[in-house]
Amino acid sequence: MSKPWILLTPSTRGISHSLLHHLLRTTPSTIPILTTTRSPNLPPSYPESDRLHVVNLDVTDESAIQSAADRARELFPPKTHHLHLALTLPGILLTPPEKSISQITEPSLLETLRVNTLGPVLLMKHFVPFLPKRSAPLEPTEGLPPHATWLSVSARVGSMTDNRLGGWYSYRLSKSALNSAVKTLDLELQQKSASNCIAVGYHPGTVKTDLSRGFWSGVPEANLFSPEDAAEKLWNVITSLNPSQRGKIWDWKGEEVPP
């Protein structure tokens, strides 16, 4: 049987940092976790565990992504291991978001696309080969979904159907493009992995992180989550999905975000 491992990128702040702690508490201690950070200096709250393998990775640098994938190949040879959960959460929101097309600047648009779209797509390019093929025998593991999952954190503003307010050009464009990449990746995985692997997007809602700090006041308290709550909600959704729900964007309530 192929042995599972988990990818979490990034892992030092916000939802991803809380998700790292959640993974260590809730997944089997035998499953290794590869995490990434842009800085060689880990925060004091970073957990210590023999399960963790930390690599430097900047999603705007493809050579760094390639190096991280090379390290993964050393740690988890594809002949004996498979990537069972890929949790990819890179993202930025440059403020203030544009209210008008005239407010777009080329540098901010390009930076947003590099981090929110190109980075996640390059992660797919270099780490999707670690996902199980359709012929790979996957041993059921308590605490994990029976199939492998590639999850990209997106946002509801990436939905064209749900776009009723306009504005937020750079961020909205970057997330719409990411949603398209998720759907396209899932179609490829259907051919290569069948029901052994799915790709989905995820909208975590508004979370008390630096990314959304300027917008907390406009969100009802019941819909404003701590990073710890957001990590738990993400985990509850990802572990409840089945292959019939593949290729879609899901929110923190487990409801589909329309395309």
Query: Domain holding 41: CATH number?
Result: 3.40.50.720
What confidence score (pLDDT) does residue 254 get? 97
The encoded tokens of residue 59 equal 């999603």
Query: Is a pLDDT exceeding 80 seen at residue 218?
Result: no
Q: Once rounded to an integer, what is the mean pLDDT over residues 4-22?
A: 97
The encoded tokens of residue 96 equal 């203030």
What confidence score (pLDDT) does residue 84 get? 98
Give phi and psi for 185, each to the nearest 5. Answer: -60, -40
Amino acid found at 159: S
Radius of gyration of the chain (CA): 18
The encoded tokens of residue 217 equal 């006041």
Query: Is a pLDDT exceeding 80 seen at residue 214?
Result: no
Outline where the chain has alpha helix (H).
14-26, 62-75, 106-113, 119-127, 169-192, 227-238
Give the pLDDT band of residue 9 (cuts 50, 70, 90). Answer: very high
What confidence score (pLDDT) does residue 40 get? 86
What confidence score (pLDDT) does residue 3 get? 95
Query: Is a pLDDT exceeding 90 seen at residue 212?
Result: no
Give the pLDDT band of residue 106 (cuts 50, 70, 90). Answer: very high
Name the CA dihedral angle for 38, 41, 43, 45, rounded to a multiple of 10 degrees: 110
Give phi and psi for 150, each to the nearest 5. Answer: -105, 115
* Contact criterion met (CB below 8 Å) for 87 and 81: no
* Contact criterion met (CB below 8 Å) for 195 and 243: yes
What confidence score (pLDDT) does residue 140 get? 86
What confidence score (pLDDT) does residue 215 get? 77
The total number of structural domains in the chain stands at 1
Give the range of the structural domain holding residue 102, as residue numbers without chain letter. 3-257
Query: Is a pLDDT exceeding 80 seen at residue 148?
Result: yes
